[in-house]
Amino acid sequence: MADRKLERTTRPRPRRLLRALLRATALAVVLLVLASGVGFAYESNAARADAREHPAPGRLIDVGGHRLHLYCTGSGSPTVVLEAGLAESSASWEVIQRRLSARSRVCSYDRAGYAWSQEGPSPRTAERLAGELHALLTTSGEAGPYVMVAHSFGGNVVRVFADRWRSLTAGLVLIDVTDETALTALRISQPLLAVQLSVNQFLARVGLLRLRGDALVPPEATPLARANATVVYGSGSMAAARAEAWASVDSAAQVAATVRPGAWGDLPVTVIRPLGQSEEDSAHARSLAALSSRGRLVTATTTEHYVQNAQPDLVLDEIARVAG
């Protein structure tokens, strides 16, 4: 009997466990809030020096209420314009731009909100982005026509640009660009991407990117992007990427509206796909090349999405081919 009584008195009661759990949770929340506050203050203070320590490589151009960063090097015609993918910036084209500028005029830029560019109005659809790109090139005095080179999500922007300003488009090089017909996948990825980018934005905003950039910077980042990680992958860039992700279904519809037989006429076009694509992605790549009588489909020997990093010579050769 004594043993049973002792067991009853020493056994933890459910209410006691619940109270302990609630206290531990409350303490964890308080500590998280305090740590976030300290991190926020640290990041806010440190960010003031970014303009001095991480200056923009190019110049800021007003496109109607906000300014975009444009970085142009080299000389020659036609000018090559480089369009980055989602959550990427002008820095992602570092290798291509450096090598290409030895023989061509080449411009990279940051879409609104990314890296050194100011935030732009919503929604961040392909049509708005293409319009801002047109305003940027026109206002900057960079003369067309342009060879438009795009990677991933950037394909949405240059495809709308080529449709609206055909006379300013000298050719297209499309590197594993987004499939505008994959609406189911886009609708599924929208909230997932938004959560991921929101987490990245929070980590940057409380200083963890600055403290542990080596762990938080994506593996495909170029040396230039790594050296300027707090700007290139900062909270502003993550917010801009999230806004583009939320508008991705609308952007896909806008791109789809430009698709029609012979849409690109005899425009020189190269579509580059990585090795090992799914049949759906391969079919999309073939259909893009078929939109021009001079369309060319090229399969890389790498399975990497960032073909321009894994096989820069291939990309440079195709740009030269399209530029003539």
103 with 148, same domain: the answer is yes
At 111, list the tokens.
Answer: 């879409």
44 with 181, same domain: the answer is no
Give how many domains the chain has, as a whole number: 2
pLDDT at 22: 53
Q: What are 129-153's pLDDT values in tens digits?
A: 999 999 999 999 999 999 999 999 9
Residue 13 lies in a domain: yes
Residue 200 lies in a domain: no
Q: How far apart are CA 73 and CA 63, in angstroms?
A: 20
Q: How far apart are CA 308 and CA 316, in angstroms?
A: 8
Residue with tokens 């940057």: 204
Residue 91 lies in a domain: yes
pLDDT at 293: 98
106 with 161, same domain: the answer is yes
Q: What is the DSSP string of 187-251?
A: HHHHHHHHHHHHHHHHHHHTTHHHHSHHHHS-TT--HHHHHTHHHHTSHHHHHHHHHHHHTHHHH
42 with 90, same domain: the answer is no
Residue 224 lies in a domain: yes
Short-list 97, 110, 108, 107, CA closest to 63: 110
Short-list 196, 193, 176, CA closest to 83: 176
117 with 262, same domain: the answer is yes
Residue 7 lies in a domain: yes
Which residue segment(s) compose the domain that 42 sits in?
A: 2-48
12 with 149, same domain: the answer is no
Q: What are 25-73's pLDDT values in tens digits?
A: 544 444 444 444 544 454 555 567 677 888 999 999 999 999 999 999 9
Q: What are 80-130's pLDDT values in tens digits?
A: 999 999 999 999 999 999 999 999 999 999 999 999 999 999 999 999 999
26 with 129, same domain: the answer is no
71 with 131, same domain: the answer is yes
